[in-house]
Structure 1
Amino acid sequence: MRAASLLAFVILLPSFAGASDLPRSRPEDQGVSTAALLGFVEAANRIETMNSVMVFRHGQIVAEGWWAPYSAETPHSLYSLSKSFTSTAVGLAISEGKLSLDDPILKFFPEDAPTNPGPNLKAMRISDLLRMSTGHQTEPQRTKDEPWTKSFLAHPVPFKPGTHFLYNTSATYMLSAIVQKVTGQRVLDYLTPRLFEPLGIEHPTWEQSPQGVDAGGYGLSIRTEDIAKFGQLLLQKGKWHGKQLVPAEWIEAATARQTSNGSSPTSDWDQGYGYQFWRCRHGAFRGDGAFGQYCVVLPEQDAVVAITSGVKDMQAVLNVVWEKLLPAFRTDAQPRDDDAYGKLASALKGLHVEYPQGTGKPANVAGRMFAFDANPMKLESLSIQADERGDTLVIRAAGKEGRIRAGHGDWTTGPAAIGPMSALSGGKSDWLVGAASAWTADETLTVKACFIETPFIATFRLKFSGDEVRLNASNNVGFGATRAPELVGKAEHKP
């Protein structure tokens, strides 16, 4: 493995302070036990699959890193962690006199309202959207067939707003649409001078609805460092470098328990809900997104933890934070333990997403093209181009050709012109991919591709036999199926 790739996860010493505008410190100087922090890293490394982590203590970054091929420079999709940023936009609009918590929803979209709206819909307010207490029994759908605001307002509201908690991404979309309505700007553009630019969050992007409204409940992409900055802003009650960016009163209300959502003492999804923020155990609160995107704020410990990951069990990630990281925070500065620190640094340098390994006999497939019948992945053909450093998977799908360059025993990162797992991971093209490959069995090539702007990791297992290849493809996580049906390709013979 090349040395550069070993630096996948690094504890930042003061000499690294030029890496960004955030202050860095050794853990011990901020009252963080190096030995306990090592235990946290080791436990996190056993979770499949972590992408990144950053830890603030007393306003200093004491640990940060990325599991290769994920990197500090690459933005990562936040999924529902986006909701907390939409909440912040609402709070700012309220502070500027453009909104009120008690404003009825129908007032903003009279053109999309039903002819005879029921009493519960009439009673629905902005505060109900924020608390996920809209009165819906099921979440309104968002399709291409009609405006999402109209679909929302047409959906049955069987409960009195404010009395029934239902996690509801469409409610967050309505908040985004309302902010755009009253400001004349997308939430992304509205937040740029008020939040993103002051925090040094560069080039954020946000997915939009067909009507040109930011999705609100998902779709924001920023770097791990940016998540940590947002968390530190929340911890500091909206103040950044001496300037009040967000009213402290809003942050206090948004992160407080505004509604009950369960009673389990062991679940971080049963501790209450604020205004697009979750309450946690141990006096903490968080924004979070699908597959393990976290901004965890621990006021009692004066700490922030930012995490991106691609996991099936999101509670498992928080359990490691509580069981391993929480005990690392001490009241006073700790004696410097250079031996423990050296062990920690050594452990961190080797962290990476597990890549395929094997010593199987390679198949003789150089220059051979394998064609596929019509299939859900829209895969038309594939071939393998190999050299001593790795394999290039050449794919033709939906009429376009793309290449995934995969290293041997290491990750190779580059653009992929098409998203070959479009049937499982959303159909986006022009991915940035880190890939590795190995002949994991005789005539069986395994290619693992990390779509590093997302939590998705695709694994392709190609079993060659004579003029045939059997392709089995899967994703690590997904909202639905994570495994595609087996496809059989036939070698094309030149005339």
Structure 2
Amino acid sequence: MSYNRREFLQQLGSGALQLGLISAVPTSLWASSASSFRSVQLPRSSPESQGVSSKGILDFVNAVESETLHLHSLMILRKGKVVAEGWWAPYAPELKHTLYSLSKSFTSTAIGMLVADGKLSVEDKVISIFPDEKPADVSPNLAAMRVQDLLTMSTGHDKDATPAVRESSDKNWIKSFLAQPVEHTPGTFFVYNSAATYMLSAIVQKRSGKTLLEFLGPRLFQPLGIEGADWETDPNGINTGGWGLRVKTEDIAKFGQLYLQKGMWNGKQLLPESWVNEATRSHIQSKGGSRKKEENDWLQGYGYQFWRCRNDAYRGDGAYGQYCIVMPKEEMVIAITSETSNMQAILDEVWNNILPAVKSEDASVGKNIQEQLQRKLTSLALPLETGKPQSPIVSKINNRAYSISENSLNVSNVALLFAKDSCTFKMKDNQGEHRISCGIGKWKSGETSLSTIPLKLVPTPVPGEKMTKIAANGAWIDENTFEMTWRFVETAHYEKVRCVFEENNVQVEFKKSLAVLNNSKDPRPVLTGKQIA
């Protein structure tokens, strides 16, 4: 993830087993919501019946695991049918997942719908849409900036405007964007710019009278059966556009299938075919990656918030490996969520294993390979904490509160309550008491009032979100040290929390997964405390 946008930053459906497909899904940590999730599924099939080799898919899964690419989910479609799918526990089919910049492709879809309605043209000048927010002195380059330049990341800015827009003292992000210097002629200079996509969201709201999320509801989400989507907002309630959308893995796959079908869904043209063609072709030479062009999926050109790929494919993608890959020649869609520091490696394994797996209609394979793939996809899991389930000091610390020294997190006390196969971590701060229940030797799911903001690339909120889904586990890594992994399962991220006990003292250290990936220090302080008598 070496290029500039990073700085902004289970089951197998077998044809022979379709009647028993739902029962073949592994028991989920979130089973209570599974029934509503399964009401709007895509059709399922076996790989071979759709001309795909099970071995190629199995090789892909084994490869991404051996390379420790940290996938959370995978769904592969061929000819509109799901031929393989899996979630690495504790991630699950019915959970949403933050999309980061894959959100951009949904935003450009809304622009396409506005254009189809005659409410917008890609040739419209940006300042003409926001006359009240434009600066007193409008430079020629700003005056020339079109909607199309926002779509193609060729606004003319010399660098990504997102940090300047977000960190401006003016909470009006539109005004802050238009105040940035525009050094290049718009349409001539590519720079990945999430603030440009934010402006597309603001345009949707300006021209439709609805937020981007509200606009896409009846036009995209409802026809595709996408339920429960949410989107982060700016300080004034405008959806962030360039990031912040959360949907399920199958929703990503449906979105890709809509594009593969040139905007057609269940006999209705949701998006003009001409727009799909324009959005997914290369409009400008893109930048990024460290490889030469023929080996680099970031140098294949950029469309309307879609990247071109090698092998005549295209994709929407987001930080840390959120993917919607469309392969028109192969009639395939691949949806992936993950938290990886090597996004190119995931694409490499798609081209190395899944692409060659597409065979003729009479593709056949031994039953043994199909069964191996099914077993693999239904048993995927991320590693648990390694260590012992017990420590001799538990009796001395169990449910004993520790008073925490003054700190920037405003934490006043912590306590750990141990049971046979679980531990509840309790922490009190200026917002109240937060509890996280951890399985010991297993994942334990629940909700927490702890904020996810410290874990994310961008500190923008989901409106109204008070509780966050979490799955956690812990183990004693030595007699005095209990370590937990907290996975915030509707984000891309997790954190490690280490509690070290020494006599009547405790140290609590937090390390978010982004710090783990980047081999950097977590900015939060180590908490120190003393047991309350």
Secondary structure of 1:142 counterpart: helix
**In 2, are the aligned partners of 1:258 and 1:274 still within 8 Å (CA)?**
yes
Residue 110 of structure 1 aligns to a residue in which SS? Answer: coil
Aligned partners of 2:246 and 2:152: how far apart in 1? 23
Give the stretch that moved more between structures: 76-85 or 326-335.
326-335
| 2-structure distance, mates of 1:218, 1:455 | 13
1:108-159 residue CA offsets vs partner (Å, 9 max, x unmatched): 1111111120100000001100000000012222246331110111100010
1:383 to 2:404 alignment: no
Q: Which residue of 2 aligns with 1:369?
A: 401
Q: Could you tell me how far apart the structure 2 residues matched to 1:423 and 1:87 are?
A: 29
1:87-128 CA-to-partner distances (Å, cap 9, x unmatched) read 000011001100111101110111111112010000000110
Structure 2 match to 1:487? 526
Bigger CA drift: 139-148 or 248-257?
139-148
Q: 1:288 and 2:310 equivalent?
A: no
- Pick which of 433-442 and 316-325 moved more: 316-325
Name the CA distance, whole Å, in 2 between partners of 1:277 and 1:423: 29
* Matching residue's letter, 1:361: S
- Partner-residue secondary structure (3-state), 2:487: strand
Q: Which one of 171, 175, 181 corresponds to residue 206 of structure 2? A: 181
The answer as to 2:380 corresponding to 1:351 is: yes
Please state whether the residue corresponding to 2:352 is helix, strand or coil: helix
Aligned mate of 1:135, from 140, 145, 156 = 156
CA change 1:373–1:391 in 2 (3 A) is same
Structure 1 match to 2:304: 275
CA–CA distance in 1 between the matches of 2:482 and 2:157? 49
Mapped contact 2:264–2:271 kept (Cα < 8 A): yes
Cross-structure match for 1:36: 56
Equivalent position SS for 1:367: coil
Range moving further from structure 2, 477-486 or 51-60: 477-486
Q: How much has 1:463 moved relative to structure 2?
A: 1.5
**CA contact 1:384–1:393 (8 Å) conserved in 2:** yes
2:252 matches 1:227: yes
Q: Paired residue for 2:426?
A: 394
Q: Which range moves more in the overlay, 209-218 or 155-164?
A: 209-218
Q: State whether structure 2 residue 285 is matched by structure 1 residue 253.
A: no
Task: Name 2:129's counterpart in structure 1.
Answer: 108
Distance between the aligned counterparts of 1:387 and 1:460, measured in 2? 19
- Which whole-Å CA distance do the structure 1 matches of 2:96 and 2:76 have between them? 18
Shift of residue 337, structure 1, vs aligned partner:
2.0
Structure-2 change in CA distance of 1:482 and 1:346 (3 Å): farther
Tell whether 2:474 aligns with 1:473: no
Q: Per-residue deviation at 1:45?
A: 2.3
CA distance in 2, matches of 1:300, 1:259: 22
Secondary structure of 2:43's aligned partner: coil
2:497 paired residue number: 460
Q: Which residue of 1 aligns with 2:3?
A: none
1:22 is aligned to 42
Q: 1:403 aligns with which of 411, 418, 435?
A: 435
Of 41-50 and 59-68, deviating more is 41-50
**What per-residue deviation string (whole Å, max 9, x for no partner) do you get for residues 320-341 of structure 1?**
2111222211132322421111
CA contact (8 A) 1:372 1:487 kept: no
Report the AA paired with residue 423 of structure 2: D
* 174, 191, 205: which one aligns with 1:149: 174
Offset, 1:355: 1.0
Q: How many residues align?
A: 485
Asked whether the 8 Å contact 1:392–1:404 carries over to 2, the reply is yes
- Where does structure 2 lack aligned partners over 5 or more consecutive residues? 1-9, 23-37
- Counterpart of 1:27 in structure 2: which amino acid? P
Give distance in 1, aligned partners of 2:522 and 2:344.
23
The TM-score, its normalising length taken from structure 2, stands at 0.87
Instruction: Verify the 8 A CA contact 2:85 2:377 in the aligned structure 1.
Output: no
Return the TM-score normalized by structure 1.
Answer: 0.94
Query: CA separation in 1, counterparts of 2:306 and 2:20?
Result: 33
Q: Give the CA deviation at 1:484.
A: 4.1
TM superposition shift of 1:226: 0.3
- Provide, for residues 439-493 of structure 1, a one-character-per-residue CA deviation record: whole Å limited to 9, x for no partner: 1222211110110000111111112111122222212226986624552422233
Whether the 8 Å CA contact 1:34–1:341 is kept in 2: the answer is yes
Among 424, 439, 445, the residue aligned to 2:476: 439
State how far apart, in whole Å, the 2-side matches of 1:10 and 1:216 are. Answer: 32
- Pick one of 398, 413, 417 that aligns with 2:449: 417
Q: Does 1:212 align with 2:237?
A: yes
SS at 1:353's partner residue? coil
Deviates more, 1:269-278 or 1:338-347: 338-347
Give the AA of the match of 2:65. N
CA contact (8 A) 2:455 2:513 kept: no
Deviates more, 1:45-54 or 1:33-42: 45-54
Which residue identity is paired with 1:142? R
Residues 284-315 of structure 1: CA distance to partner in whole angstroms, max 9, x if unpaired? 10001111111010111110000111112211
Q: Aligned-pair distance for 1:16?
A: 5.0
Q: Distance in 2 between matches of 1:411 and 1:231?
A: 31
What's the RMSD between the two structures over aligned residues?
Answer: 1.9
Residue of 265, 274, 296 corresponding to 2:294: 265
What amino acid is the match of 2:335?
Answer: A
Alpha-carbon separation, structure 1, partners of 2:404 and 2:70: 31
Residue ranges of structure 1 left out of the alignment (5+ in a row): 1-8
After superposing the two structures, state which structure 1 stretch, 473-482 or 143-152, moved more. Answer: 473-482
3-state SS of paired residue (1:265) = helix
Residue 157 to residue 484, structure 1, CA distance change in 2 (3 Å) = closer
| Distance of 2:110 and 2:145 partners within structure 1 | 20
Residue 449 of structure 2 corresponds to residue 448 of structure 1: no
AA matched with 1:338: K
Partner-residue secondary structure (3-state), 2:514: coil
Moved more, 145-154 or 220-229: 145-154
Quick check: 286-295 or 325-334, which moved more?
325-334
